[in-house]
Structure 1
């Protein structure tokens, strides 16, 4: 029988981060489960995995070049590929942690279990951008995207719920968005963005399109593109 106290001594935040980065992630942060008490009921880590003690959040960088293409197909391709890479990372990291006798539950961003057809509002099992914020990886900008100092908003997020307490990273308190900058809001063609939120119906109706042949593509990503901190920002 595994001694759980011994496991807790052997598996610490440094080891977990080393494993996550070695698996291929570009960033990793850790949040204690109590930080999620502010989340809506039903969307907290313990609602999904009652034994959760810590939340491990990681990110994969995506190339900035896709923002400059005159075709939306490269952006759509990279988004799909980044999602698959994050899902694979979640699988690989969970297996590696379980070899260390740590239960690790992957939390995919899709598919949605919650969907409001009328408002076209979808919610993941856990809000990964808020998880990233609570894990000290970055801040949520006016474009409602998690923005990290290293890579700005050019990231795809993943997370795992683990049953061991790990040292949490400090939450960033920097205000990345200047008071005068409203680039994402004023350049949103659907009018979906407002300071602090997004109308998902307006956003989805405008941004989700297809090719002539019917293949799904993303046709608008201005909120990511026009951000002056889209590729990173200074924390000092």
Structure 2
């Protein structure tokens, strides 16, 4: 019965054109994978005590649009992906509930604004850790989940369900190649050349820079995920050479296009 339910769920995701889906048993949160691990109050059962499984979906962030960041173009893409994640996780939670397995969706962010993060840079649930435990990817130096298909260029949403679904395997092979391009190009000097979680040094610096961009109506930043060389999407779009973001003379046409987009639509 559980296998049939998971197959029905995956078919529903295919119908909705959701490219990334993974499942984790909620008990995985109780077994620390690295230090520091997620405090108990952020575990799925602390949010929905009846939860038995976490379903994580991922939607890609289109690389050629992201490359214009920070820009109004990327801002609109970010908003679009977020809205779709909320809609899809809501619909999937209802799909499972109607089949007799009460379920809830977790909003993609879980905080009111960047200014809230300046005071307390934590949301009530981590989709990134859920994606890791659901076998969709693993952490890079830039504090994001890297996936084989899209590198860190993915936004995640989560459904907590009472159904005990077959979990997916965690990806054990480290995807980050430690090129440190995200460290070098971070405009707020948030990162250090260390593995996650030690690599993230100043969450408030990142939030402060996003707040400044938000005042100009061109947030979020997105630079650390656009310069990452990991992901099959780089091949799809002919962007295998990730040095293109640093070498303006060699990639003049690209930089000219990005500067054109950045010159309009924001403050």
- TM-score, normalized by length of structure 1? 0.84
Q: Which residue of 2 aligns with 1:75?
A: 74
Provide the secondary structure at the position in 1 that maps to 2:14. helix
Provide the secondary structure at the position in 2 that maps to 1:124. coil
Q: Deviations over 1:5-38 (max 9, x none)?
A: xxx5575322222223323322100001111113
10 and 117 in structure 1: CA distance in 2 versus 1, 3 angstrom threshold: closer
1:203 corresponds to which of 191, 206, 216: 206
Q: Which residue of 1 aligns with 2:169?
A: 170
User: Using the alignment, how far apart are the partners of 2:69 and 2:104 within structure 1?
Assistant: 39
Q: Deviations over 1:80-138 (max 9, x none)?
A: 1110010010111111111111111101133328x996954432232001100100001
8 Å Cα contact 1:138-1:149 kept in structure 2:
yes
Runs of 4+ residues over 6 Å off in structure 1: 115-118
116 and 204 in structure 1: CA distance in 2 versus 1, 3 angstrom threshold: closer
Q: Which residue of 2 aligns with 1:96?
A: 95
2:28 corresponds to which of 2, 12, 35: 35
User: Using the alignment, how far apart are the partners of 2:162 and 2:146 within structure 1?
Assistant: 27
User: Using the alignment, how far apart are the partners of 1:137 and 1:88 within structure 2?
Assistant: 20
228 and 98 in structure 1: CA distance in 2 versus 1, 3 angstrom threshold: same
8 Å Cα contact 1:153-1:231 kept in structure 2:
no
Structure 2 unaligned runs (5+)? 33-37, 236-267
8 Å Cα contact 2:109-2:123 kept in structure 1:
yes
Provide the secondary structure at the position in 1 that maps to 2:89. helix
**Count of residues in Structure 1 that have an aligned counterpart in Structure 2:** 223
Provide the secondary structure at the position in 2 that maps to 1:78. helix
Provide the secondary structure at the position in 1 that maps to 2:150. coil
Q: How is 1:68-147 mapped onto 2 (pairs within 5 angstroms)?
A: 68-69=67-68, 72-112=71-111, 120-147=119-146
User: Using the alignment, how far apart are the partners of 1:182 and 1:209 within structure 2?
Assistant: 25
User: Using the alignment, how far apart are the partners of 1:149 and 1:232 within structure 2?
Assistant: 9
- TM-score, normalized by length of structure 2? 0.75
- Corresponding position: 1:20 with 2:13: yes
Q: Which residue of 2 aligns with 1:193?
A: 191
Provide the secondary structure at the position in 1 that maps to 2:141. coil
User: Using the alignment, how far apart are the partners of 1:110 and 1:134 within structure 2?
Assistant: 18
